[in-house]
Structure 1
Amino acid sequence: MNSPTDADQNGPQPQPPLGFEEDDLVRSDYIRAITIDQISRNAARGVVGPVAGSSTIPRTLVRYWHDPSDIPQDVAHCLATWLPLHDEGVEFRLFGDSAARAYISEHFDERAVAAFDRCHHPAMRSDFFRMCFILADGGLYVDADDVLLGDGWRQIFDDRRLLLQPLAYDLNVHSMVAMEELLNVDLPTSDKIFYLNNNPIAAPPNHRAIKRALDRATDTLLRNKSYLEIQSTTGPGNLTASLAAHARVLAIAGEPADFNILLEWYTTSEPFWDLEYRNDARNWRNIGPS
């Protein structure tokens, strides 16, 4: 499948049909094509640095914990690893459920507030809120349980694109594909689902792909009154589908990509898995329809 970024050098290429992003396998192939294109470009030209412009990513780090007055000690340790950014002038914003709802009420319409109220788990509310904040204010969002490893964050705030990390899930062994393996352009694809993470998200305000993702999540939340699965409604599945549809629009119009795949983010930050909350209902992976 042609990568949407092929339009940068070769003009518009044949693209999948309208609505393809709702097909899991076609969408996976498209995201893999985007990732391989990025890998190939980096190999040919060296790692591509930030693209500067008049609207760069604000120097804001935003994070979420449903009750900021009761952050577990092990999660607080993860948050503290990011203090070097604050020392270099990055503004820190931490939101909980109440502050997030107030922010959405101030910056968005009643539909967005109603959609936030439909989010049945803190992880879902975090998913929804991060789209709202990045759309309205821009900045860098990372999960509260991520730890800082390196200084790759420095280039984030000099960029004007939407920046996202690729992921892949191996259906045979039922586990995530290691990032080092994901960078192999010859990696077999038939037994894997390729997608984009919604952590981190970095973008300037008013990015069209984030607007599409927020609109898609809002419509799904308000249209369905039954239990909604988090990953596909507000999480990485929603963002992946929205970015794929957005990339198709750009490619058909012959416009260059306004997003970039963060192939080396795993050297900058990673989730810390040995946390107490992951063993109870605060972990979205442990819940289901009642």
Structure 2
Amino acid sequence: MLKLDAYPQGFEEDDRLRSAFTRNLTLHFSDRPAPPSVDGAIRSAGVPKTLIRYWHDPHDVPDDVRACLASWDRLHNEGFEFRTFNDASATAYIAERYGAQQLKAFARCRHPAMRSDYLRLCFVLAEGGFYVDADDVLLGDGWRTIFLNGTLKLQPLCYDIFSSGMVPAAEIWRHDLPTEGRIFYVNNDPIAAPAGHPVLRRALGRATEKLLGNDPRPEIQATTGPGNLTAALVAHARDLAFAGAPFDFELLHDWDAIAETRWDLTYRGDARNWRNMDALGI
């Protein structure tokens, strides 16, 4: 299904080609049968039961964000280890596990959201685990399917330029979905992966290079966020397809049934929301 000659090496840096390739990946996974239900113990094959979150200031966590974080507490009873990072602990972690380049790149992240983006790549690459944003709320027990095997698991998204809104998750998998004026990509929330996954290694390397470049105000989405992760994913997928190797990742069909993002949080109206940082001169 993938016409590889249409995607030359380095194509992931072209917005149009990156989106088109991501669309092809959604079609590849659209007919994948749903994983079997899982009862009892998790049959994990490489993704550690480590839940990773980030909030930049541990002394100033809004009550509504605390409620989101607390929704995951029942995973303690499922044998999960919780790792919640802030700006200081993330700096210490990167200094311990990585080198001077990564530490310098992290210091150049100009917003807490960028630092969260960078830390999640560093941690999941080094140790594996399950990253979720601090504004995600756990719903039912669908999270168990994420641990059925050791593949990288990411959430596909589609933005409609004409309506300035997201295409509903259930619509993304339609083979007859119009593509004009739409941007297909993967989110960097959630990320579930074993340690050392090549997509995360590529994404961390790309983010580091961009942060250490000459742009004094790098754009968050393309530098550390979903655009960066999407570029790493499609480049990796192309390499696997050329080699005739199976994909070592999956696109999640049902993340919205596993967790939901709370949009009515107080911090979204101020500088703590990355969407406001350019307008506020951050």
TM-score normalised by the shorter chain: which range applies?
A: over 0.9
**Equivalent residue, structure 1, for 2:188:** 198
Deviations 1:219-277, CA, capped at 9 Å, x for gaps: 00001241111011000000000100010111111110000000111110111000000
1:213 counterpart = 2:203: yes
1:54: Cα distance to partner?
A: 9.0
Match of 2:154 among 158, 164, 185: 164
1:91 counterpart = 2:77: no
Give the conservation status (yes or no) of the 8 Å contact 2:35–2:145: no
TM-score, scaled relative to structure 1: 0.91
148-157 or 265-274, which moves further after superposition?
148-157
1:75 counterpart = 2:74: no
1:158: Cα distance to partner?
A: 3.1
Structure 1 stretches lacking a partner, 5+ long: 5-12
Deviations 1:118-159, CA, capped at 9 Å, x for gaps: 000000000000000000010000000000112111122232
Match of 1:47 among 5, 9, 34: 34
1:31 counterpart = 2:22: yes
1:185: Cα distance to partner?
A: 2.0
**Equivalent residue, structure 2, for 1:129:** 119
Cα RMSD (Å) of the superposition? 1.8
Match of 1:177 among 151, 164, 167: 167
* Aligned-partner Cα distance in 2 for 1:75–1:159: 30
Deviations 1:173-208, CA, capped at 9 Å, x for gaps: 011111122232211001100000000000000000
1:90–1:180 CA distance, 2 compared to 1 (3 A): same
Three-state SS of the structure 2 residue aligned to 1:198 is coil
Three-state SS of the structure 1 residue aligned to 2:188 is strand
Q: Report sequence identity in percent.
A: 54
1:53: Cα distance to partner?
A: 9.8
Match of 2:96 among 106, 115, 120: 106
TM-score, scaled relative to structure 2: 0.94
Give the aligned residue type for 1:148.
Answer: L
1:264 counterpart = 2:254: yes
Give the aligned residue type for 1:90.
Answer: F
1:3 counterpart = 2:2: yes
Give the conservation status (yes or no) of the 8 Å contact 1:53–1:160: no
**Equivalent residue, structure 2, for 1:251:** 241
Deviations 1:1-31, CA, capped at 9 Å, x for gaps: x338xxxxxxxx6461011101111111100
Aligned residues: 276
* Aligned-partner Cα distance in 2 for 1:54–1:279: 39
Three-state SS of the structure 2 residue aligned to 1:252 is helix
